[in-house]
Structure 1
Amino acid sequence: MKVKKYVAPSMPEVMKKVRADLGKDAVILNSKVVHTGGFFGFFTKKNIEVMAAVDPSPFDKEPIQKDRERTVPVNIQPKREPSLLEDITPLVKSLNQKNDMDLLKEISELKLLIKDTQSKPTVRTSIYPEPLQKILLELEDQEINEEQQSDIMSKLLEKWYKNNASSSNTEIKKWVREELLTRVEQYEHGGISFKKKYINVVGPTGVGKTTTLAKIAAQCVIKHKKKVAFITTDTYRIAAIEQLKTYAKILDVPIEVCYNLDDFKKAKEKYSSYDLVFIDTAGRNFRNKQYVEDLKEVIDFTEEMETFLVLSLTAKQRDMEEIYRQFSLIFINRLIFTKTDETSQFGSILNLMTTYKKGVAYLTTGQNVPDDIMEATPTEIVNTILEVDTK
């Protein structure tokens, strides 16, 4: 076998070199981005380096030479240059002619090739068939992290070639849904369990904690006929206390304002006969570690409490991760994601779930109380990520 290395500024140009030298039967063994030239590390040029090979045959030389000398008629458009994918497609299509062990071996090699190209944007998309390229772009648009993207695309590519590289878009979308469900179903989802008396919501300022708490409490009063009370520890903002008092008046439920742990214990005794007690905490700068410590001085985090961390989907992924790390000093049962109506990127839901191994309790879709909230299920979460309207 004849193996040679070629370098050019772009993939089409390097493929022209490969065909001119090795002919149409050449096979791409590997490709990567390289930087050449420059001065002391500056002004380097980005190129594509390709390793190509061909199995020489005594019958190949003459036809290749004739092909070079043949002129293309004016009325015939020149054939477009095949992509990197098309160069390996004949090899991959032959997989279905092999036994299962050979098939698994070849697929494993393809996965390694994919993994090797994840950090190379110029060739990352081109290694997938066109229908799967669209899926990859959608995953990127949803801001699903690269680790998840790589894993999902590897599974899709395996299914693609096991189905003879001829699956419909409908079938491919079904695969994507299945892959997302597999990841989401690993964790516990759903609203309050009704096994714990105290329901506590924590989170940074501006994520909609008080409104979310009121929505959940309203459902318990109206739908489940529970006897409910409110406790607020948000003594930093008068408006927050007044807001919760307004919700308490509408729902006809009592409310207590607690300034310290003693106040909290007294409120617990006062509401000992109630089914559920909802606790609203202060929304302060999440970067201040002392805030979480202050919570412990006001709230008795006992075994009979469910705690939900509220995060806004309009926040940056990095900020949400830092928020979780700050509040992880308190045991978090599940996550609540707000403001799904104010963004079109939902990949952070999957990212945080898989990173911190936590399920989702609720997704909120607006400001209306008691509406604009839905209990999270694996199907609802996947529909949100895929932007599927089920209403």
Structure 2
Amino acid sequence: SPTQEELKKEIENLKLLVTGQKLTTPVNTLPTVNFKKEKPSESTKIAETEETHFDFDDFRTLREAPNAQLNLISEKTNAALAKTNTVVVEKNLTPEIPSVLMAIKQSLIDQGVNAQLINKIIDTNLDALSPAILEDFSRLDRFIKHQLTACLPPARKSLALVPSKVMALTGISGCGKTSCCAKLASFYMITMGKKVVWIEADTVRTSAIAEARTYAETLGIPLFLAYTPQELAELLESQKDADLILVDTAGCNPRNEDNVVELGSFLSTIPSGCTYLVASATTKDQDLIQTEKTLKQFGIKGVILTKTDETGSFGASFNLLWRSKLPLFFVSSGHQIFGNLKPGNPEHLATAVVDGDYPEK
């Protein structure tokens, strides 16, 4: 058995190890303890005086300190586990997307539809539709197309009426403005019997003038050249008896300020509500965003979508109409000037986004 001195030293060392502090009660005040097995006599009993009283709080501190530290570690561990478990629970609460809905979602992603819009549509269907419908491709496909259609502004579904007496077509180079002018001219003159006039404002490029002249001669309609904004204004006034005046403008580079200013000087002579943005379905999403952002200051009335037969990706075109809230007036495809002009139809564009092919009818 340890001696009294060894016990005192062990207690003191234990407190130093656990708390880093010495005993508050001096060691020399510890009582004399009889370690013999026999019953102590009356003369050897501890006298409970102030000088010899043992402070049990010190021993209690020694005894409880390790447990307190363990409790602190346990509390921190439990808190960390609770936080982790919360994250796990939250992840588990996220509903799993059924395979059919996931396939449609992936199709929209591949098409380049805006990610925020995709997530909104998917979440709406998960919340609103029954599990049976979510696994029914035919019904779900139809619902998704209806929802995409509802995201677009309503558009005219007939070509019979001229949308405006003056139609000034603007857009980036190569978007198909000139060929679109030819298709509009052929339809309204030949099919609808309208008096059509063509004003060519892209006079910088000789190739543009030659192309316009070829179309005009083929169709048998008058062609006028406008080299300045003033000449354009005079021609618009002199040809006001026509049923439709088509104005083909020069291709715009939305990244070139001088080019935009020059285009603006011509478009400033166009009556309000008569300027249309021609956008190729093959143009990248970011380029369409910048083009619309730059040209909207000129009062764009609507969009004419071209080259729908040259791509299987329609997400960028859809995003353009969805962001700008501009209606789709016409859709053009092919190089022939006869029979390749269709009225803008949001349902058809929604179908093209899901199926990857623009409907023929």
TM-score w.r.t. the length of structure 2 is: 0.70
Alpha-carbon distance between aligned partners in 1 of 2:250 and 2:239, rounded to the nearest angstrom? 21
1:215 aligns with 2:183: yes
Highest RCO, 1 vs 2 (Cα 8 Å, sep ≥ 6): 2
For structure 1, list consecutive stretches of 5 or more residues without a partner in the other structure: 8-27, 31-49, 53-83, 89-112, 115-126
1:200 and 2:174 aligned: no
Identity %, equivalent residues: 25
Pick the aligned partner of 2:202 from 225, 234, 251. 234
3-state secondary structure, aligned to 2:329: strand
Deviations along 1:140-192, one digit per CA (max 9) or x if unpaired, are 011101111011101221233x35576411111121112112212x3444569
Give the one of 282, 285, 289 matched to 1:317.
285
Q: What RMSD, in angstroms, separates the aligned Cα atoms of the two structures? A: 2.7
1:349 CA displacement: 2.2
- Correspondence 1:121-160 to 2 at 5 A: 127-160=96-129
Q: 1:200: Cα distance to partner?
A: 0.5
Partner residue of 2:255? 287
In 2 relative to 1, CA 322–229 (structure 1 residues): closer, same or farther, beyond 3 Å? Answer: same
Higher gyration radius (CA) = 2
For 2:336, what is the secondary structure of its paired residue? Answer: coil
- 3-state secondary structure, aligned to 1:310: strand
The whole-number CA distance in structure 1 between the counterparts of 2:224 and 2:168 is 14
Residue type of the partner of 2:190?
Answer: I
Deviations 1:316-351 (A, max 9, x none): 111111111111120001112222222211111221
Q: Deviations over 1:182-218 (max 9, x none)?
A: 212x344456952632111001111111001111111
* Amino acid in the other structure paired with 2:104: I
Tell which deviates more after alignment, 330-339 or 299-308: 299-308
C-alpha contact 1:258 1:298 (8 A) present in aligned 2: no
Cα gap change, 1:390 to 1:279, in 2 (>3 Å): closer
Superposition deviation, residue 301 in structure 1:
3.6
- Shift in CA distance, 149/238, structure 1 to aligned 2, threshold 3 Å: same
Moved over 6 A (4+): none
8 Å CA contact 1:5–1:51 kept in 2: the answer is no
Which residue of structure 1 aligns with residue 340 of structure 2? 372
Q: Which amino acid aligns with 1:210?
A: T
- Provide the rounded CA distance (Å) in 1 between the counterparts of 2:245 and 2:275: 12
Tell me if structure 1 keeps the 8 A contact 2:108–2:354.
no
Distance 1:175 1:328, change over 3 A: same
Partner Cα distance (1:165, 1:193) in 2: 41
* Structure with the bigger percentage of helix: 2
The size of the alignment, in residue pairs, is 280
Task: Map 1:39-118 onto structure 2 (within 5 A).
Answer: 50-51=88-89, 113=94
What secondary structure, in the 3-state scheme, does the structure 1 residue paired with 2:143 have? helix
Distance in 2, matches of 1:205 and 1:187, equals 28
1:341-380 to structure 2, matched below 5 A, reads: 341-380=309-348
Which residue does the alignment assign to 1:177? Answer: 145
CA contact (8 A) 2:203 2:209 kept: yes
AA aligned to 1:223 is T
Moved more, 372-381 or 289-298: 289-298
> Which structure is higher in strand share?
1
- Deviation per CA, 1:38-84: give whole Å up to 9, x if none: xxxxxxxxxxxx348xxxxxxxxxxxxxxxxxxxxxxxxxxxxxxx8
1:268 matched to which residue of 2? 236
2:306 to 329, 338, 341: 338
Give, as a single letter, the amino acid of the residue that structure 2 aligns with 1:317: D
**Within 1, Cα distance between the matches of 2:230 and 2:250?**
17
Q: Structure 2 unaligned runs (5+)?
A: 1-79
Residues 174, 249 of structure 1: alpha-carbon distance in 2 compared, 3 angstrom cutoff: same
